[in-house]
Amino acid sequence: MNALRRLAACLLLLSPAACATGQDTYPALLPTERILAEPRLPDHATDAADGPAAAEADSEARAAALRRRAEALRRPVIDAATRARMQSAAP
């Protein structure tokens, strides 16, 4: 019976500490005007608002640059002359 009282006392003392740790996890509240406001495009999206052609051209250029990078990564890391020198030096 004495052990049960000690356990209850420990749980009673530790329970407020468990509740105090989550105070900053609650999301920030927004004013109603901000929630109900019409959505606006971010500053970096003004090109797309003017017309899709500019955004599409930028996307195509980025895709081409990424394809060139990917192709460069497919090449051997060690060139043939260095590889031959390393293999000849190895016992």
Domain boundaries, the chain: 52-91
- Sequence length of the chain is 91
pLDDT for position 62: 96
Distance, in Å, from the CA atom of 31 to the CA atom of 73, rounded to the nearest integer, reads 50
Per residue in 15-53, pLDDT tens?
Answer: 765 565 556 677 889 899 999 999 887 887 777 777 788
pLDDT for position 16: 65
Amino acid letter, 59: S
Taking the model in full, what pTM does it have? 0.39
Per residue in 72-83, pLDDT tens?
Answer: 999 888 999 999
pLDDT(68) > 80: yes
* Burial classification of residue 49, based on how many CB atoms lie within 10 Å of its CB (0-12 exposed, 13-18 middle, 19 or more buried): exposed
